[in-house]
Amino acid sequence: MTHPVAARSCADEPAHVVVAGSGIAGLTAALHAADKGCRVTLVTKNAREEANTRYAQGGIAAVMFEDDQVESHAQDTLVAGAGLCDPDAVAVLTSEGPGRVRELIALGVAFDRSPEGVLRRGLEAAHSAPRVLHAGGDATGAVIEAALVARVRQSGVAILEHTLVVDAVIDGGRVTGVTVLQERPGREGRRSTSDAPGTIGCDALVLATGGVGELYAHTTNPRIATGDGIAIARRAGARVRDLEFVQFHPTVLPTCRAEAGVGEAFLVSEAVRGEGAVLRDREGRRFMPDIHPDAELAPRDIVARAIAAQMRRQDGTPVLLDATGLRSDDETTSRFLAERFPTIDAAVRARGLDWSRTPIPVTPAAHYAMGGVETDLWGRTGVPGLYAVGEVARTGVHGANRLASNSLLEGAVFGARAGERIAADTLGARAGEPWPVDLPVPPRDAELPAAPLGLDADGFTRHGLQELMWAHVGLVRDDAGLRHAAAVIDRWERALPAPQNLRDHEDANLLLVAREIVAAARARTRSVGAHFRRDDTESPRHPIPGLRHGHAPLSGKVTA
């Protein structure tokens, strides 16, 4: 290893905290823990700026204006969550959110403002009032990430880049350290792993590793989103919950994966449809008006499933997003798109597409995990010394469906709460006080059925797992597909050799998390929120073939 191995803190030393992940949740937790006197080591398996936060085009929702109310934001969140949110967690999120946004502003986040210096705010789907702040137009996440990374660099927090947290070290029933695997730069931009994992002693581990997008053939997530934190927590004995709720974004520029050299998938914000862009099939016909009264502005899950159904009818080819008619009174379409959506415009044109003249291909993609490692309101899991914040955590704020622009807010709010709590928890542990969280121990995994005869399930590849999850554990599910996925994953897990390098560890984590998602999806036999079962015969039928949900039309225009 290229960094020293630290011993666990002595009784008279400050608490040593390892934070795994460098998105808004991890960076915020690190800053607050350091501010409380902890010694903090931030570990990230890529560059410190590479996190899901960096790719967030949407904004951050918070009640920042006198004509809005925290109670309204809370109610909107509860309604979006389809009755499965934790009301106490929602109350924390919405009441503390404004203070955390002001903190981001103080840290240097330049949210968009009017010429008079007033914060600009947008209205997003399912919000009852305009309360969504943006930065850099459609580059909110990148602006937040840059400001937080700059502040962490000044804070005295130690940073280990290109380093994977492999597992938590548990001794005496609590976290006493972490095992890590560090990559070293290789020739011609390649990387080679170190010979063996090393150990860092610590009093607490904060998991802030993001989501699970790399499980799916189509995703908006960067390739680092391999479910590491969920796998680490599960192996440590922590409880996971609501993993069946994976949100799929309807409109993403597709990728052909690295081997085709086309570039990564890229999210095209709902705001483009909010400005008037429409969806067409490959023949140029609009199809959403036949599906839902709100057409392209229907709820996100309805639009995503409608696109997937249309793609099946046209042999899997993407549908088309037509923005060629968008313009203001005094602007051409090309200028309007470049100024209103600078990040998207650059990404589209980098692919050789002129979306001001020609519709662009889009496909649904896995976007956000609503479930994860179960925590209390301070980010604590059921394992003493183990915390989880951000997308990897199941705080209870999202329920079955995340309200738009609550994800960055969750990272800021609960990252801060965990960071502030660790020092006090460590002092309590040293004084012999019991861990204040009593979450049930998760049940042992049930024996999965054998794979069907003739199935070559031993030849695991990451691409094969992604296609399996997309086909059977994606936007539309049923018992037969879930049973098939469970059997294949079981065979793959049994045949997987011991990890030798970083990618091997990622593959093992992906398989573990895939197994947990499938088990959760099989256990929930009724459709709710982002979890849609085509074999749920008791739900109202829907005009899309194979879909049964009913949704009320939206009110208002999506502008962010």
Locus of tokens 């502040």:
151
Do 392 and 230 contact (CB within 8 A), yes or no? yes
Tokens for 6, please give them. 């630290």
Q: Which of 308, 340, 305 is nearest to 531 (CA)?
A: 305
Tokens for 106, please give them. 């103080």
- C-alpha distances out from residue 143 to 22, 60, 62, 70, 108, Å: 14, 12, 17, 25, 9
- C-alpha distances out from residue 122 to 112, 137, 451, 557, Å: 11, 11, 49, 10
Q: How far is Cα 558 from Cα 560, in angstroms, rounded to an integer?
A: 6
Per DSSP bridges, beta strands 174-185 and 191-193 are antiparallel
Q: Concatenated DSSP letters for 473-511?
A: SSSSB-HHHHHHHHHHHHHHHHHPPPP-SHHHHHHHHHH
- C-alpha distances out from residue 241 to 21, 234, 331, 372, Å: 21, 11, 49, 6
Is 483 marked active-site?
Answer: no
Question: In a 3-state reduction of DSSP, which class is residue 533?
Answer: strand
Q: How far is Cα 244 from Cα 227, in angstroms, rounded to an integer?
A: 14
Do 549 and 528 contact (CB within 8 A), yes or no? no
Q: Which of 20, 22, 35 is nearest to 419 (CA)?
A: 35
Q: How far is Cα 390 from Cα 482, in angstroms, rounded to an integer?
A: 27
Tell me the angle at which helices 24-35 and 407-430 cross, rounded to the nearest 10 degrees: 40
Locus of tokens 């969280």:
437
Task: Report residue 266: phi and psi, to 5°.
Answer: -140, 125
Task: Report residue 248: phi and psi, to 5°.
Answer: -110, 125
Question: In a 3-state reduction of DSSP, which class is residue 204?
Answer: strand
Question: In a 3-state reduction of DSSP, which class is residue 417?
Answer: helix
Task: Report residue 181: phi and psi, to 5°.
Answer: -130, 120
Per DSSP bridges, beta strands 39-43 and 158-160 are parallel
Per DSSP bridges, beta strands 16-20 and 39-43 are parallel
The β-bridge partners of 387 are 206, 380
What residue type is assigned to position 45 of the chain?
Answer: K
Residues 6+ apart with CB under 8 A from 185: 162, 191
Q: How far is Cα 525 from Cα 540, in angstroms, rounded to an integer?
A: 15
Name the active-site residue from 300, 305, 522, 534: 300
Q: Which residues are catalytic?
A: 300
